[in-house]
């Protein structure tokens, strides 16, 4: 058990819709990062949250946004879904030199 | 911008064979380097990491990696693989610890009993 919990595990959405994915970090971890892993590819960094603020951002459009709550949990929001957004979305929590990944949310856009 | 290149996409080995997976990175500053493993149906797990100090890093399950700064490499090694090592392996580079970690495309390792 990685200690990082993501919900839901699977999701099917229609093009143009909006989706919210959730992540609860491992206890004691204050930083949450989100990644997109397309089929056959390595995870791609979306953004990272620390102290409720976006600290770093990868090369993703503004349709991808996020939030971190005071309890360090986080949400990833994607607006105006495209077919190409279909992927496994991974959350990783970290504290200093320790980091763990969750099982991911499999998003399918039809 | 940082980038990671993994040379082998698919490797097939017999049990007890030695393993070396190549990883080269591109980044102008101080790097932190990682190897992650993803077993079938499971989440990504950290095998080992390099932040500073001894460039020969030992990780879990008998894996080790060597950071060679002059070659921008961080190759993963294991002297004798087991069937249970069948998985996908990802090399990754980050700056400032786990900030903005960039992953390679992964190497699928298949170990034949």
Cα B86 to Cα B45: distance, rounded to the nearest angstrom: 14
> CA geometry: angle at B23 spanning B58 and A103, to 5°?
70
Q: How confident is the model at residue A16 (pLDDT cuts 50, 70, 90)?
A: very high
Rounded Cα distance between A32 and A54, Å, is: 10
Looking at residue B31, what is its pLDDT? Answer: 85
Q: Tokens 């990883």 — which residue?
A: B23
B38 contact partners, CB below 8 Å, separation of at least 6:
B44, B45, B87, B88, B89, B90, B106
Nearest-CB residue to A41 (from B49, B102, B105): B105
Q: Which residue has the tokens 């989706």?
A: A19
Distances (CA, A) of B79 to A96, B16, B49, B57, B87: 30, 8, 19, 14, 17
Q: Which residue of A has its CA nearest to B4?
A: A42
Q: Which of chain A's residues have a Cβ under 8 Å away from the Cβ of B98?
A: 31, 33, 48, 92, 94, 99
* Closest B-chain CA to A41: B105
Q: Which residues of B touch A31 (CB under 8 A)?
A: 98
CA distance B48 to B34: 6
| Min distance B88 CA to chain A CA atoms (Å) | 10
Check pLDDT > 60 for residue A1: no
pLDDT bin (cut points 50, 70, 90) of residue B1 is confident
- The confidence score (pLDDT) of residue B24 equals 96
Q: What pLDDT does residue B27 have? A: 80
| A12 has a pLDDT exceeding 80 | yes
Q: What is the mean pLDDT of residues B35-50?
A: 92
Q: Which tops the pLDDT comparison, B17 or B52? A: B17
Confidence of residue A24 (pLDDT cuts 50, 70, 90): very high
Provide mean pLDDT across the span B83-101: 87
Averaged pLDDT for residues B34-61: 92
Identity of the residue in B49, B92, B100 whose CB atom sits nearest the CB atom of A56: B100
Closest residue, chain B, to A50 (C-alpha): B99
CB contact under 8 A, A43 and B103: yes
Of the spans A7-21, A36-50, B19-33, B86-100, which averages the highest pLDDT? A7-21
Question: Distance (Å, rounded) from C-alpha B105 to C-alpha A40?
Answer: 8
Interface touch B98/A56, C-beta < 8 Å: no
Cα(A11)–Cα(A104) distance, integer angstroms: 11
**pLDDT band of B72, cuts 50, 70, 90:** very high
Asked if residue A20 lies in contact with residue A66, where contact means CB atoms within 8 angstroms, the answer is: no
Q: Which comes out higher in pLDDT, residue A95 or A79?
A: A79
Reduced to 3 states (helix: H, G, I; strand: E, B; else coil), residue A39 is coil
What does the mean pLDDT of chain A come to?
94
């Amino acid at each position: 058990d990685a200690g990082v919990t993501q919900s839901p595990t699977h999701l099917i959405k229609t093009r143009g819709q909006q989706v919210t994915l959730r992540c609860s970090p491992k206890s004691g971890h204050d930083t949450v990062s989100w990644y997109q892993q397309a089929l056959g590819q390595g995870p791609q960094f979306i953004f990272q949250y620390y102290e409720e603020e976006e600290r770093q951002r990868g090369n993703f459009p503004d349709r991808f946004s996020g939030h971190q709550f005071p309890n360090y949990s986080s949400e990833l929001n994607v607006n105006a879904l495209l077919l190409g957004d279909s992927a496994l979305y991974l959350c990783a929590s970290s504290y200093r030199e320790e980091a763990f990944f969750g099982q991911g949310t499999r998003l399918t856009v039809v | 911008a940082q980038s990671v290149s993994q040379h082998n996409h698919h490797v097939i080995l017999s049990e007890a064979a030695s393993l070396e997976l190549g990883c080269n990175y591109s980044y102008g500053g101080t790097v932190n380097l990682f190897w992650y493993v993803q077993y079938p149906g499971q989440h990504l797990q950290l095998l080992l990491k390099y932040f500073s100090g001894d460039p020969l890093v030992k990780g879990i399950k008998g894996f080790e990696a060597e950071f060679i700064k002059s070659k921008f490499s961080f190759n993963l090694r294991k002297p004798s693989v087991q069937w249970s090592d069948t998985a996908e392996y990802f090399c990754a580079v980050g700056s400032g610890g786990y900030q903005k970690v960039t992953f390679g495309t992964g190497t699928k390792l298949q170990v034949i009993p």
